[in-house]
Amino acid sequence: MLKRIPIAVSAAAVGAAMLAAPALAGKSNDTLVWSTDREVNVPLPFFEQVREMVVMARLSHDTLLFRNPKTFAYEPQLATDYKWIDNVTMEFNLRQDVTFHDGTKFSADDVVATVNHLVKPDSGVLTKRNVSWMKSAEKLGEYKVRLNLVKPFPAALEFLSGPLAMLPAEIWSKAKKDATGKPDYGTIPPIGTGPYKTVEHVPGERTVLEINPNYFDGPKGKPSIKKIVFRTVADPEAQIAELLTGSLDWIWDVPKDKAEELKSSGAVQVVNAPTMRISYLSMDKLGRSGADNPWTKQKVRQAVIHAIDRAAIAKNLVGGASSVIHSACYPTQFGCTQDVPQYPYDPAKAKKLLAEAGYPNGFSSDIYAYRQREFTEAVMGYLSKVGIKTNLKYMQYKALRGLVWNGSGSPNHMTWGSYSMNDMSAITSHFFKGGKDDYCRDPDVMKWLETGDTTTDPAVRKDVYKKALSRIQELACWAPLFTYAKNYAYSNDLDFTPTPDEIPRFFQAKWK
């Protein structure tokens, strides 16, 4: 029977849902169908950057270690144990009961071949930071490997439990050649050891994964649902309509008003959950966008932070799981502390600081953004109240990223998800070590971050990271605003628990 459709969902969207692919979703078909508005063109880790592939990589592939989403502890996965030999050398003993989806047995050869391919300049890896910290891997025995690092890298465990999926040793030779005759590694078969295996992929449309009946008994647990299907549905209203008509089981990023309506209807489960993504405002301390601009003045930047009611935006627009942050990092990340200089909402103080900076009547400026326009418009509204009139330049992420990198995209209101890495080097070191996104470039901050990024002593890391975070706040060149929260909506038949790293672990989901 067709479920009642909330009145706010358009008739066109309902019609599109009815005409969608045959409804194979749900408990009766033992098939979980989930959707977003993004396209997945390559069904492989390392060669596709969208979040959806990050999710599916955890289904189809495994890593040497596993980060427990509840305790944040690093547990053996494809490895049985590991140890640090020194600051740049690790050794792993491997499981002997693992096979790839094609039936070949997992061994040290696969780890060595995977690592040594990924670190090559022509490896084809899109997100180089995921692999650039490694130098090489060596085989010490059939089930024992040594990993050599480029330099001390204390976040190694985080990467070994995240994006560093293991592939079969012979897989690289199966890459097709591109027009120039070079191997295109994005064409290799999507073979892993994970709880699900990829059985169909239509670029830009869908990816189908089926349960791996031979999956080993590890920290991910044995999968329960027989089939997982990802589909691209570009229209958010159509996603909601398909969820309600039963051809989808799971969606996320549901707008707050729609989520509230869905929840009140009782037709599906709706959960507002925290994520590791944070919202920030970057301001041009350096004058990269022109030496004669108000943003180069510290009191102007401090005024801006005081002018924005971050708590109101978090509560009223983002959702109940959102919270204000005061540091340039996500609170759970190693080294992140909120014990830094803070800027409470105080529009009177903001006006006073603007006057002291030479702008008693405020000023006008462009502001750049790419995501959740309503959040940026709320920021603009608060700035207007203290005399700063802003003109929104709203564009696609790739275009805005280019402007930011060439120095002309300031101030910008953007977001960062840290690639779901629970270490503050994945965000703070990205924005404040002199790179293209750094509009601060403070030598002390860069020095402290380099120390924190290259020592394995936890106490030293925490000390220098706190110094860096405090200095960033004093300079006020980058204003941390609030954490993001996602609205998840999914079938009443589904037992699913969201996690802050924005990686839905469908391998742990089950039907009620």
pLDDT at 167: 98
> Tokens representing 133?
């910290």
| β-bridge mates for residue 74, sequence order | 67
The pLDDT confidence band at residue 51, using thresholds 50, 70 and 90, is confident
- 227 and 123 part of one domain: no
Write phi, then psi, for 290 (nearest 5 degrees).
130, 125
Lowest mean pLDDT among 7-21, 94-108, 411-425: 7-21
Do 415 and 286 share a structural domain?
A: yes
pLDDT of residue 456: 83
- Which three-class secondary structure state does DSSP give residue 172? helix
Residue range 344-401, pLDDT digits in tens:
999 999 999 999 999 999 999 999 999 899 999 999 999 999 999 999 999 988 899 9
Report whether pLDDT(312) > 60: yes
Residue 294 half-sphere exposure, CB side, CA atoms within 13 Å?
Answer: 26
The closest of 319, 243, 257, 266 to 8, measured between CA atoms, is 257
Beta bridge partners of 494: 511
Q: Give the pLDDT confidence score for residue 11 in this predicted structure.
A: 47
Mean per-residue pLDDT, 495-508: 94
Q: Is residue 86 part of a domain?
A: yes
User: How many domains does the chain divide into?
Assistant: 3
Assigned domain for 177 exists: no
Identify which has the larger pLDDT, 237 or 289. 237
Domain range for 34 is 11-57+183-272+488-511
Beta bridge partners of 177: 183
Looking up residue 85, the CATH number of its domain turns out to be 3.90.76.10
Coil vs helix vs strand at 186: helix
Radius of gyration of the chain (CA): 24
Strand extents, DSSP E, 361-410? 363-369, 388-394
Q: Which of 1-10, 42-51, 318-327, 436-445 has the lowest mean pLDDT?
A: 1-10
Q: Do 399 and 268 share a domain, yes or no? A: no
Please indicate, yes or no, whether residues 95 and 22 belong to a single structural domain of this protein.
no
Domain match, 136 and 206 both:
no
| Mean pLDDT value across the chain | 93
Average pLDDT over residues 25-52: 93
pLDDT in tens, 195-244: 999 999 999 999 999 999 999 999 999 999 999 999 999 999 999 999 99
- 419-437, pLDDT tens digit by residue? 888 999 999 999 999 999 9
Same domain, 266 and 313: no
List the beta strands (DSSP E) in 421-472.
none
Last residue of a domain, one of 95, 127, 160: 160
Joined together, the tokens standing for residue 302 give 């401090």
Please check the confidence at residue 3 and state whether its pLDDT lies above 50.
Answer: no
Question: Are residues 48 and 93 both part of a single domain?
Answer: no
Rounded-to-integer distance, Cα 206 and Cα 208, Å: 7
Residues 6+ apart with CB under 8 A from 292: none
My answer on whether 424 and 326 are in the same domain is yes
> Does residue 50 register a pLDDT over 90?
no
Tell whether the model's pLDDT for residue 5 goes beyond 80: no
118 lies in the same domain as 219: no
Q: Is 100 inside any structural domain?
A: yes
Do 132 and 50 lie in a common domain? no
User: Same structural domain for residues 326 and 460?
Assistant: yes
CA angle 62, 65, 66 (to 5 degrees): 80
CATH number of the structural domain spanning residue 291: 3.10.105.10
The pTM of this model reads 0.80
* 178 within a domain of the structure (yes/no): no
Report if residue 4 sits inside a domain.
no
- Crossing angle, helix 236-245 and helix 11-18, to 10 degrees? 60
Percentage of the chain modeled with pLDDT above 70: 95
Asked if 282 and 222 sit in the same domain, the reply is no
> Kind of pairing, strands 363-369 and 79-86?
unpaired
Rounded to the nearest 10 degrees, the angle between the axes of helix 373-385 and helix 298-307 is 110
Average pLDDT over residues 486-491: 96
- Domain-embedded: residue 43: yes
Within 13 Å and on the Cβ side, how many CA atoms surround 103? 0
Query: Does the pLDDT at position 249 exceed 90?
Result: yes
Q: Is 411 within a domain?
A: yes
Show the tokens assigned to 376. 């940026």
| pLDDT at residue 8, as a whole number | 55
**Residues 151-162, mean pLDDT to the nearest whole number:** 93
Q: How does residue 256 score in pLDDT terms, banded at 50, 70 and 90?
A: confident
Task: Specify if 313 maps to a domain.
Answer: yes
Residues 72-131 pLDDT 10s: 899 999 999 999 999 999 999 999 999 999 999 999 999 999 999 999 999 999 988 899
The CA distance from 131 to 20, in Å, is 39
User: Of 92, 127, 160, which marks where a domain is finished?
Assistant: 160
